[in-house]
Amino acid sequence: MVNWILGEKFHQRYPHLDGVKALWETKWKFPCSLGVYPFHDGKLEDFQPIFEKLIRDNVNDAYTDKYTEYFFPTAEKLTDAAMSSQVSDRAKAASLFKRAACVYRISRYPSLDAGSGTKRKAFELQKQVYLRGASLWDAPMKEVRIPHTAASGADGKEIPLFVRLPRGASSDKKCPVVLLITGLDGHRPDNSERTDEFLVRGWGCVITEIPGTADCPSDRRDPTSPERLFSAILDWMDKQPYFDMRKCMAWGLSCGGYYANRLAHTHHSRFAGIVAQGAGSHYFLSKEWLERVDDHEYPFILSEAYVSKFGYKDWEDMKDNAQKDYSLVDNGIVHGPSCRLLLVNGTSDGLVPIEDSMILMNYGRPKEARFYEKMLHMGYPPANEAIWPWMESVMATAS
């Protein structure tokens, strides 16, 4: 039995799990009012009426089509307003498209595979309104679909990416680039704020989803499929005339942080540095940890989304086999060389134990880390104060 740094909270059931009313009032209403995760680009005025209706109608299971459908009228209204504003006020239209995309985002929680296809429909609509709005930006976001040149087995043949470049990037003016790796429920259209920050620094970005989520073509049940995915993406990036691949970094978010840890070792020679935020490596898929993960800070029950993402038969199958299949320690990946790797998380993370970052200190090249005392998953809100300066320093010295 592990003596978890999370302490007594490991055995507690967090209060927001008592239903949508508790979720909204104790966990989501305040960040929504501030426009922060997971409500980037959203407004309280959009979500307050939706959650009031959900609460009134006692709709508490976010895995259902019924939950998702409550969000559609608001998203459609915002989309119509954005469409009407495109000619007269491009900035207003872009903002309204972002708001519509955020409403669709919350509607598709926690897994696109849940229900009968309504959440997948929400995701398709989210991408449409997001890209329509992104086409109005000074530096637009675009979708690029590249061949999966390393595909094998059950992998799909095409990899959809989002790409955003700073103005003026060209073969004569190459830009540094960040490969942004999304998480379990955060997908490509959910990263406007980060990509804005990349542009401020003169960096381009490529955004990819992880196996078992959204549009990622990788075989979700094959633990080696990410190596093929990232090889194909990096090979494509190498061929683009506007990327300075000597200054290439990656940043993995939440469940994407696991893949960042993996990538820092399997493709270490292709990166100047990698950030793994809220990242798993070994313990997060142990049976002991998974037994209690549904009780912690994830907005809803996590187990159903996990089973779908990793492709197991059921929750018992996953608890019995996930660590054996995916541990970066047990499979030996972290015993090999790595690029510079920054590990960031909160010490009170109830989704991915802080031990998963700490254990990497025992292997291979020395790692860099910033842990935030008593902060939850990802180390927010203060985590960015460590991430941005570290990335800047790596980019400045890469050659």
Pick the catalytic residue from 254, 281, 327, 348: 254
Determine the residue type at 44.
Answer: L
H or E element: which one contains 265? helix 255-266
Asked if omega into 110 is within 30° of 0 (cis), the reply is yes
- Of the candidates 148, 187, 282, 377, the residue annotated as catalytic is 377
Instruction: Determine the Cα–Cα distance for residues 85 and 134; give it in Å rounded to an integer.
Output: 14
Question: Tokens in use for 157?
Answer: 């043949």
- Is 345:277 a contact under the CB 8 Å cutoff? yes
User: Rounded distance, CA 161 to CA 311, Å?
Assistant: 22
Beta-ladder partners of 343 = 276, 369
Is the preceding omega at residue 366 within 30 degrees of 0, hence cis?
no
Q: Give the DSSP letter string of 143-172.
A: EEEEE-TT--TT--SEEEEEEE--TT-SSS
**Angular region, 170: left φ>0, alpha ψ -120 to 50, beta rest:** beta
Q: Is 254 a catalytic residue?
A: yes
Question: What's the Rg (C-alpha) of the chain?
Answer: 20
Three-state helix/strand/coil letters over 52-68: HHHHHCCCCCCCCHHHH
377 is catalytic: yes
Those residues with Cβ within 8 angstroms of residue 344's Cβ, 6 or more apart along the chain or in another chain:
275, 276, 277, 278, 357, 369, 370, 371, 372, 378, 379, 383, 386, 387
User: Which residue in this structure is represented by tokens 């296809």?
Assistant: 117
The full DSSP string for 313-369 is SSHHHHHHHHHHHH-TTTTSGGGS----EEEEEETT-SSS-THHHHGGGGSSSPPEE
Annotated active-site residue in 155, 219, 349, 356: 349
Tokens 């239209």 correspond to 93
Which residues 6+ apart lie within 8 Å of 57 measured at CB?
Answer: none
Q: Find the largest Cα–Cα distance for the chain.
A: 63
Known catalytic residue: 172?
no
CB atoms < 10 A from the CB of 147, how many?
Answer: 12
If one counts every other C-beta atom within 10 angstroms of the C-beta of residue 376, the result is 20
Active site residues per annotation: 254, 349, 377
